[in-house]
Structure 1
Amino acid sequence: MFLICIIIGIMAAFIGSLVGLGGGIILVPSLLFLYQFSDLFSWAEPQMIVGISLLTMVFTALSSTISYWKSGRVDYKTGIIFLFGSIPGSILGSWLNQFVDSDNFSLYFGFIMIFISMLLFIDRSKHVKASETSASSKNRRTFQIGEETYHYSISVPPALAISFGVGMLSGMFGIGGGAIMVPVMILLFGFPVHIAVATSMFMIFFISIFSSLTHIFLGHIPWSFILFFIIGAFIGGTLGAKVNQLLTGKVLKWILRIVLIGVGLRLIIDGFM
């Protein structure tokens, strides 16, 4: 059983770090499945699964953020702006978790995930080029990835409002927030996919700390098992970040689309079951 926990931690962290989604989208359904069909995981009640997911993501995000930071791909200035909205949202969401019936939410959120994945087929390049000349120097960001130079800008009020909502969803359902935040950064703010993924993991590190502290306070962490998920998360998070840096932006975007469609289908199935 402990080996299974480590393997789940590695798989969840690898995929989460690769596309900036945190890993909860893999860990949560995996543990729910084992909880329903294996007596070995009878301890893994839904609230505990969310707590495990969020605490594990602290270490997934830490290991991957260190790797992304070394390669200069974290937009920490924008990430901090997003955190001002997402941290209060994550605390509220963690508290609301104990009152929410997630069935209807899963169904609708699944359709939203598939819709977002379709939006990622939109070509943002023309808009990004146009915004380069109109963006104020204060909110303008410039990053060098390989031989390519990328420019984009942000608007602070929408960034705060959106990140608050994303943080609340993260705390409520243990999904890490990246499933929404990465597409939002790409579609609304023109982030190159490598920067969006790296910045998402930077944010998830802090969001998960505050969300998991709330679940610790509520007694949702099974301390006898959490260490094995953390070991897997640190390994998987590091590997995912390394592989991310070897892939092109187009390949990463396709992986992100596929993962979001998979997340959406899983949530829709959960909603119907």
Structure 2
Amino acid sequence: MPDINYKLIQLEEVDSTNEYAKKLVLHEDILDTYVVVANHQTHGKGRLGRKWESPRGMGLWISIILKPGKSHEEMVWTNFMVSVTVCEALKELTRLLFELKWPNDILINGKKICGILTETVNKNKKVFLIIGIGININQQDFPGPLDGSATSLFIETQTVWDRWVILEKIMSGFDDNNINLSPEIITRWKSLSGMLGHRITVVQGDHTFEAMATDIAKDGALVVERNGRAEKLYAGDVHILVN
């Protein structure tokens, strides 16, 4: 159990830690940072309505509830800060090379090991941020659709990891980065990215196109070059093309 300075809620099973966190915000007075941890999610949430596979005891499935008061700009920075915090924590614990992919994936050897989903809840004219984090830790394999595209810390290191150690490391970095939140976090994100300077495919609904990923704008948009022109992307599913 980690030494913590936030409110910890432990659940054996839940549909989704993000959904649980939303209900908590709506029905309780949230005066501190809360972290909801589940041993198993029956309907874990990924981006674009996808399900996040959350087998019992095999990963870190959490949602962080932040107190309101952040500006829109600070909310954008927070999204990048969480990715940086988790990436740096995993790197320090394992000494492996992890890379960030816009908007909120963490990869190792081209495979996804962590996904982050940020949502908001409006209550009494205040906006609460809910940050869902799913990290594959001790899975030895993945079901068919994910085979070849997902990985875990166990697969990469052949070591069984303690999820509480990982949570404590993440939250320690989270506290420091949240207190010192600034635009510099986007620069740190870019230094950990494995996609800038590479060609990518972008899927937006039924529309798919190729482009060159060149930068992250101050407002969090992915800047790409397509047909000789720079464009900003605020949404989409991005895949790095292998040369």
TM-score by length of 1: 0.29
Q: Which has the higher contact order (CA 8 A, sep 6+)?
A: 1
TM-score by length of 2: 0.31
- Structure whose residues are more often helix by fraction: 1
- Structure whose residues are more often strand by fraction: 2
